[in-house]
Amino acid sequence: MSRFWSKLAAGLSPYVPGEQPRGERLVKLNTNENPYPPAPGVLAAIAETSGSSLKRYPDPDSSELRAAFARREGLDAGQVFLGNGSDEVLAHAFQGLLKHDRPLAFPDISYSFYPVWSSLYDVPFTQVPLTSDFRVDVQAFPKDCGSIIVPNPNAPTGVLLGLDDIRQLLQAHADAVVVIDEAYIDFGGESATRLIPEYDNLLVVQTASKSRSLAGLRVGVAFGQEHLIEGLVRIKDSFNSYPMDVVSQQAMLASLADEQWFQDCCTRVIQTRERTAASMATLGFEVLPSAANFLFASHPQVAARDLFARLRERQIIVRYFDKTRISEFLRISIGTDEEMDALLGALEDILP
Ligand SMILES: *Cc1c(COP(=O)(O)O)cnc(C)c1O
């Protein structure tokens, strides 16, 4: 606490990201990064971004990159918005689209950044309980909410909603913006982007951080009808006109150009996830069905907090949330097969 802080700064409870420890020997399964490298073209594009392009400001509208995203989704460039990581895109959505007199609704167990942005931007919110088996119940969203945000698949559970459920949500709340945060959609879900022409209240947010192995590059994207995108652009241009640097724009173009690499990495992660889930079930874990690049699991005999600590002693880092309803679960990112074998070996060792 400093006497120089504004009342706003003093009153915040900022989001705490998973730790990023340095050290070679660690098996790092705590922040849902991709274990595989980005497409080779990405590295080439970064190397080729020359001094002469760095001395100039980037294209503030990222026109070329927006066009490339639009082509991939069968949308228009005017239906695409880019930001410095999807966290920035989401933050702009909180300010530009989700803040109304009536409360924003989101699941009680979901991305823990949502309450943080709500508090930063003074957005009234209400939390909708997941079912006892940790599913998002689209019927449970209050009729009179002012806006909605749902991660799909949900985080940190990994549980997927089908497009039928998303349609129901969009139809039942036709006067509320519905943001679907698809940070993990490429690991087995069907994207809601194809509903965009039908629904004027749908914004879909995605990221290059997880499925494209580019967490370090910071590229996030939103898809929606033009009027929603314009709402985001108004916030962006009142905050930072150049969120996408020259290197990110070129590198992301190269990632989009190599669809095969992207699909192959996703397939490998999915295969490793399924194998790991099956082995953990054999060890007695309750593992929620995951459509993401992580597993959310609980063991009936050993407290999650203890498991977390004992894995850590063995240089394996997973994520533990000390929060009601999920304090008996661990969130385990999917690494390489070797990393998951190290995890399974350690669990076998630790469990009674
Ligand atoms: C990781 C994550 C994000 C943010 O990703 P960026 O790295 O900022 O693009 C957003 N939403 C959810 C649910 C996430 O798990």
Tell me, yes or no, whether 64 and 204 share the same domain. yes
- Residue 306 corresponds to which amino acid? D
Tell me, yes or no, whether 138 and 16 share the same domain. no
Confidence of residue 113 (pLDDT cuts 50, 70, 90): very high
- CATH number at 105 reads 3.40.640.10
Residues 223-238, mean pLDDT to the nearest whole number? 98
Tell me, yes or no, whether 108 and 166 share the same domain. yes
Q: Could you tell me what percentage of the chain is helix, strand and coil, using 3-state DSSP and rounding each to the nearest 5?
A: 40, 15, 45
The alpha carbon of 183 and the centre of ligand 1 are apart by a number of angstroms equal to 6
Q: Is 207 inside a domain boundary?
A: yes
Tokens (6 digits) for 54 = 């760095």
Angle between helices 259-282 and 246-257 (to 10 degrees): 80
Q: Given this model, what pLDDT does residue 53 score?
A: 83
Residues 249-261, mean pLDDT to the nearest whole number? 97
Q: Given this model, what pLDDT does residue 1 score?
A: 85
Q: Helix (H, G, I), strand (E, B), or coil: what is residue 185?
A: helix
| Residues framing ligand 1 (Cβ under 6 A) | 85-87, 111, 151, 155, 181, 183, 207, 209, 215, 220
DSSP collapsed to 3 states, 242-271: CCCCHHHHHHHHHHHHCHHHHHHHHHHHHH
pLDDT at 318 over 90: yes
Separation of alpha carbons 118 and 329, rounded Å: 26
The alpha carbon of 4 and the centre of ligand 1 are apart by a number of angstroms equal to 31
Tell me, yes or no, whether 280 and 320 share the same domain. yes
Residues 233-253, mean pLDDT to the nearest whole number? 96
Residues 214-235, mean pLDDT to the nearest whole number? 98
List Cα–Cα distances, 67 to 22, 64, 158, 223, 249, in angstroms: 37, 5, 30, 12, 12
Q: Is 116 inside a domain boundary?
A: yes
Residues 57-66, mean pLDDT to the nearest whole number? 95
Atom number, ligand 1, closest to the C-alpha of residue 151: 13
Of 279, 313, 311, give the one whose Cα is nearest residue 295: 279
Q: Is 121 inside a domain boundary?
A: yes
Ligand 1 pocket test target in 86, 160, 204 with most atoms within 8 Å of CB = 86
Separation of alpha carbons 206 and 263, rounded Å: 16
List Cα–Cα distances, 46 to 18, 43, 51, 254, in angstroms: 27, 5, 11, 9
Q: Is 109 inside a domain boundary?
A: yes
Tell me, yes or no, whether 233 and 91 share the same domain. yes
Tell me, yes or no, whether 159 and 205 share the same domain. yes
- Any idea of the CA torsion for 192, 196, 202, 204, to the nearest 10 degrees? 50
Q: Is 1 inside a domain boundary?
A: no
- CATH number at 34 reads 3.90.1150.10
Q: Which range of residues forms the domain containing residue 280?
A: 7-38+260-350
Of 250, 290, 299, 275, give the one whose Cα is nearest residue 32: 290
Q: Helix (H, G, I), strand (E, B), or coil: what is residue 332?
A: strand
Q: Which residue has a Cα nearest atom 14 of ligand 1?
A: 183
pLDDT at 247 over 90: yes
Tokens (6 digits) for 223 = 């898809």
Query: Which residues are within 8 A (CB) of 130 and not within 5 positions of it... i.e. 6 or more apart?
Result: 107, 108, 109, 136, 137, 154, 157, 325
- Any idea of the CA torsion for 235, 237, 241, 245, to the nearest 10 degrees? 40
Q: Given this model, what pLDDT does residue 19 score?
A: 77
Q: What is the pLDDT of residues 168-214, one digit of tens each?
A: 999 999 999 999 999 999 999 999 999 999 999 999 999 999 999 99
Tokens (6 digits) for 107 = 């699941």
Tell me, yes or no, whether 185 and 328 share the same domain. no
Confidence of residue 154 (pLDDT cuts 50, 70, 90): very high
Q: Is 70 inside a domain boundary?
A: yes
How many domains is the chain built from?
A: 2
Q: What is the pTM of this model?
A: 0.96
Tell me, yes or no, whether 138 and 17 share the same domain. no
Tell me, yes or no, whether 32 and 75 share the same domain. no
Tell me, yes or no, whether 62 and 199 share the same domain. yes
Q: What is the pLDDT of residues 133-144, one digit of tens each?
A: 999 999 999 999
Q: Helix (H, G, I), strand (E, B), or coil: what is residue 73?
A: helix
Q: Is 2 inside a domain boundary?
A: no
Asked if 221 contacts 207 with a C-beta cutoff of 8 angstroms, the reply is yes
Of 299, 308, 214, 300, give the one whose Cα is nearest residue 253: 214
Atom number, ligand 1, closest to the C-alpha of residue 111: 13
Q: Given this model, what pLDDT does residue 23 score?
A: 65
Separation of alpha carbons 174 and 169, rounded Å: 8
The alpha carbon of 348 and the centre of ligand 1 are apart by a number of angstroms equal to 31
Asked if 175 contacts 146 with a C-beta cutoff of 8 angstroms, the reply is no
Confidence of residue 24 (pLDDT cuts 50, 70, 90): low
Of 211, 228, 258, the one marking the end of a domain is 258
Query: Which residues are within 8 A (CB) of 343 and not within 5 positions of it... i.e. 6 or more apart?
Result: 27, 29, 276, 311, 316, 318, 332, 335
Share the mean pLDDT of the chain: 96
Residues 207-233, mean pLDDT to the nearest whole number? 97
Q: Given this model, what pLDDT does residue 20 score?
A: 79
Of 212, 232, 258, the one marking the end of a domain is 258
Query: Which residues are within 8 A (CB) of 66 and not within 5 positions of it... i.e. 6 or more apart?
Result: 77, 80, 81, 82
Tell me, yes or no, whether 251 and 180 share the same domain. yes
Q: Which residue has a Cα nearest atom 11 of ligand 1?
A: 183
Atom number, ligand 1, closest to the C-alpha of residue 32: 1
Of 208, 227, 258, the one marking the end of a domain is 258
Residues 74-96, mean pLDDT to the nearest whole number? 98
Q: Is 337 inside a domain boundary?
A: yes
List Cα–Cα distances, 244 to 48, 128, 155, 247, in angstroms: 17, 34, 26, 8
The alpha carbon of 111 and the centre of ligand 1 are apart by a number of angstroms equal to 8
pLDDT at 16 over 90: no
First to last CA, the chain: 45
Tell me, yes or no, whether 80 and 209 share the same domain. yes
